């Protein structure tokens, strides 16, 4: 079968940039773990010292329980915060509007944080035959919100940096990284990444459109998207396009849209992925 037909590929086991991306994730995780460890120790020691100055005697185990339950809830909230950071940002919103929306988001986030950590503390205390008393709810909520707003800011900055770092293109080890090898029986096509216009999921394969040709590449769309890098964007659950190939985007009232590519081809996109363009 010649290059103008549709071929099949045995697949590539290693995607470009995977190792670097894993290293970046590891360093981010280690950095977060290190920060939380140092901050937890500092918070516990300062709390014990402040309480001692006020003449209040509290066990170290209790103070560590307060700190760790708070940390656990914040870690559980990280996916939600990551979603907020990804959605409430320029150019989707202007900078003042984005700041305002994040400020408003601190209220429900703080409320969830306080309620969840109180429940955890009640369970921990009950396991030791004790009863946890939060004290005056209005004053406690206000006190915790002041701390939570600062924590939200730090978490948002960290997540914004993490998203930026993970989205950075990975350096290519060789010119071969700019070529996608697509096997078609005894023939292996060397498809320039810069020539690929779009790709769509097709069962266990991906249909790659390039220079007027269509090839079947044995891969998942997610793996191919990772392989091709940030120059490609998902416009539908089963479809990606090369950013530079997009000539116009027409959005419907429903939020769905139609993309016109440099070849003149038109593809439908889902409103869920409109922000990527």
Domain at 175-276, CATH homologous superfamily: LytTr DNA-binding domain (2.40.50.1020)
**How does 220-251 read in b/e, with b if 16+ C-beta sit within 10 Å?**
ebebbbbbbbeebbbbbeebbbbeebbeeeee
Q: What percent of the chain has pLDDT over 70?
A: 90
Whole-angstrom distance, CA of residue 85 vs CA of residue 155: 9
Q: For residues 145 and 106, is the Cβ–Cβ distance under 8 A? A: yes
128-175 per-position pLDDT tens digit = 899 988 777 888 888 899 999 999 999 999 999 998 888 776 554 444
What angle in degrees, to the nearest 10, is found between the helix axes of 60-87 and 95-127?
150
pLDDT(15) > 50: no
Contact 243, 204 (CB under 8 A): no
Domain definitions of the chain by residue range = 18-167, 175-276
Q: Does residue 6 carry a pLDDT above 60?
A: no
- For 123, list phi and psi in degrees, rounded to 5: -65, -45
Least confident segment among 10-24, 64-78, 142-156, 213-227: 10-24
């Amino acid at each position: 079968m010649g290059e103008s037909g549709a071929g099949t590929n045995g697949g590539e086991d290693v995607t470009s940039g995977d190792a670097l991306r894993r290293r970046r994730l590891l360093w981010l995780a280690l950095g977060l773990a290190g920060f939380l460890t140092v901050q937890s120790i500092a918070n516990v020691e300062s709390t014990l010292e402040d309480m001692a100055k006020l003449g209040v005697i509290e066990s170290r185990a209790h103070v560590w329980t307060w700190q760790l339950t708070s940390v656990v809830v914040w870690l559980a909230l990280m996916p939600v915060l990551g979603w907020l950071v990804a959605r409430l940002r320029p150019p989707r919103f202007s900078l003042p509007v984005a700041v305002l929306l994040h400020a408003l988001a601190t209220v429900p986030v703080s409320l969830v944080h306080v309620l969840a950590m109180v429940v955890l503390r009640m369970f921990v205390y009950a396991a030791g035959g004790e009863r946890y008393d939060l004290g005056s709810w209005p004053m406690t909520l206000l006190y915790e919100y002041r701390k939570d707003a600062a924590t939200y800011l730090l978490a948002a900055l960290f997540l914004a940096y993490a998203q930026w770092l993970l989205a950075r293109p990975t350096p290519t080890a060789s010119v071969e990284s700019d070529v996608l090898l697509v096997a078609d029986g005894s023939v292996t096509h060397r498809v320039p990444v810069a020539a690929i216009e779009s790709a769509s999921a097709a069962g266990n394969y991906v249909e790659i459109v390039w220079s007027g040709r269509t090839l079947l590449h044995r891969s998942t769309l997610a793996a191919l998207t990772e392989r091709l890098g940030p120059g490609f964007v998902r416009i539908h659950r089963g479809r990606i396009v090369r950013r530079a190939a997009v000539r116009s985007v027409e959005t419907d009232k429903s939020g769905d849209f139609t993309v016109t590519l440099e070849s003149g081809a038109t593809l439908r996109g889902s409103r869920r992925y409109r922000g990527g363009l």
